[in-house]
Amino acid sequence: MAPSPDICIRGAGIVGRSLALLLARERLRVALVAPPRDPASGHGDVRAYALSPAARNLLESIRCWPDERSATPVLEMQVHGDQQGQVQFSASAQGVPALNWIVDVPALEAKLAEAVRYQSGIEEVASPVHAPLTVVCEGRASQTRAELGVEFETMAYSQHAIATRLDCEFPHDQIARQWFTPGGEILAFLPLGGPQGKQVAVVWSVRPERVRELMDCEPGAFAAQLADVSGKALGALALAAERATWPLMLAHAKRWIGPMTGRPGESFALAGDAAHAMHPLAGQGLNVGLADASELAKILASRETWRSTGDMRLLRRYERARQADWLRMSLATDALQQLFSRPESLLSAIRNWGMTAFDHSGPLKSRVARLAMGTAGTSMPPTSLTPHKSISS
């Protein structure tokens, strides 16, 4: 790349590509370390993310929001406890067009890849290059983070996630549904296919000893178990995709910034899953990662002209802001996981009473809903769903 880049981004997933586009919009030169694109990539990928209005705002600003069929608006969320406790959130009660959107991962990745391909300020490279700042977006198994000697502190949950997709007898009605079971498992149905869709993405957090049985069981029997746990809320179910599984954890890097080993004058920052991981029960993992990208881009864009992009004073601002936001969200999700993973009958009664009380709590419930939507207390501004400054093609 000539002239040499201002930033090298290692990792070309959703967070890495979004950050590259945000930085290029600010006329910064970006080297994006990405493997050659496989035309078959995304085939069989069952992942879907619940993206907040703030995340949508960011993605629209870089012209990467997927079409309606790949980004289903959630008008209501229903959370069911294990003893009839229930909490409901609705977009109408919050005065917003949607609580969040369930976004198909392959569709989003394709939009980002296309935008990067046509952005002149970004050069995709096969291997890392020298730059004042290297941003590591390689995911929780980041090799670069390990090479830099950054400790990744993990606390494993006694759960694995199983993800897949289901065809349903009844339409999902744009409702995201979640069930906490007496055995401490958590099941989520996330609406797919647009407002009239009859397909859902599934994330089922189960005990480790159950994983092999559920991954190996016949598709019809697997779907029948999901219908049973969900109380047949969407009628008869049929498996529509392969199953994927991974262990769940709470994790964070001890340092999110620092000097590049053996490279005087160069610094690094971690973002996304390379910096942190949390339980998926609140659906906030990618939202927090995109907020990392937003905050870092904002700080670099507003720096004094004489400061390098790798200036440690700038990076410390990023680390302080993002660690505080991640800590707040991770403590909340961890507390919920710990509360609902305990089978004791007294605890079950207390937490279900608490759910019912919270459902009628008025301002407190609204405050929690705004936090979950990214419209209060985060580094990304609330969405107005109106056009924003966009990158040049």
Does residue 273 fall inside a structural domain? yes
Q: Give the separation between CA 257 and CA 312, rounded to whole angstroms.
A: 8
Q: What is the pLDDT of residues 120-171, one digit of tens each?
A: 999 999 999 999 999 999 999 999 999 999 999 998 888 899 999 999 999 9
More confident residue, 158 or 226: 226
Amino acid at 88: Q
**HSE of 126, CA atoms in CB hemisphere, 13 A:** 1
Residue 326 resides in a domain? yes
Task: Give the Cα separation of 162 and 350 in Å (integer).
Answer: 28
Q: Residue 360: exposed, middle, or buried by beta-carbon count in 10 A (0-12, 13-18, 19+)?
A: exposed
pLDDT bucket at 38, cuts 50 / 70 / 90: low
Instruction: Give, for 135, the enclosing helix (H) or strand (E).
Output: strand 133-136
Residue 327 within a domain: yes
Report the C-alpha gap between 187 and 61 in whole angstroms: 33
Examine residue 272 and state whether it is found in any structural domain, yes or no. Answer: yes
Q: pLDDT (tens digit, 9 = 90+) per residue, 54-106?
A: 999 999 999 999 998 899 999 998 888 766 667 778 888 888 899 899 999 99
Q: Please tell me the predicted confidence (pLDDT) of residue 377.
A: 45
196 within domain boundaries = no
Sign of CA dihedral 7, 11, 12, 18: negative
Domain CATH code at residue 303:
3.50.50.60
227, pLDDT greater than 80:
yes
Q: Name the band, by pLDDT with cuts 50, 70 and 90, for residue 386.
A: very low
The reply to whether 193 falls in a domain is no
- 165 in any annotated domain: no
325 vs 219, residue with greater confidence: 219
How does pLDDT run across 254-299, given as a tens digit for each residue? 999 999 988 888 999 999 999 998 877 666 789 999 999 999 999 9
Round the average pLDDT of the chain to a whole number and report it.
Answer: 85
Rounded Cα distance between 164 and 75, Å, is 22
Q: What does the alpha-carbon distance between residue 162 and residue 156 come to, in Å, rounded to a whole number? A: 16
Listed residue (137, 118, 93) closest to 288, CA to CA: 137
* Total number of domains in the chain: 1
Domain membership flag for residue 203: no
Q: What does the pLDDT look like over 178-225, one tens digit per residue? A: 898 877 788 999 999 999 999 999 999 999 999 999 999 999 999 999
Using the predicted structure, report yes or no on whether residue 389 has a pLDDT greater than 50.
no
Q: Yes or no: say if 97 and 73 are a contact pair by the CB < 8 Å rule.
A: yes
Q: Which two tokens stand for residue 8?
A: 């090298």
Tokens 């600003």, residue located: 61
Domain with 342, as residue range(s), is: 7-155+248-373
- Give the count of beta carbons closer than 10 Å to the beta carbon of residue 217: 14
Nearby residues of 313 by Cβ (< 8 Å), 6 or more positions away? 307
Spatial contact of 176 and 191, defined as CB atoms under 8 Å apart: yes
Contact 174, 166 (CB under 8 A): no
3-state secondary structure of 371: helix
Task: Specify the pLDDT at position 379.
Answer: 42
Q: How far is the C-alpha of 19 from the C-alpha of 26, rounded, in Å? A: 11
- What DSSP character marks residue 37? P
18-25 mean pLDDT: 97
- Planar angle of CA 220, 195, 206, nearest 5 degrees: 40
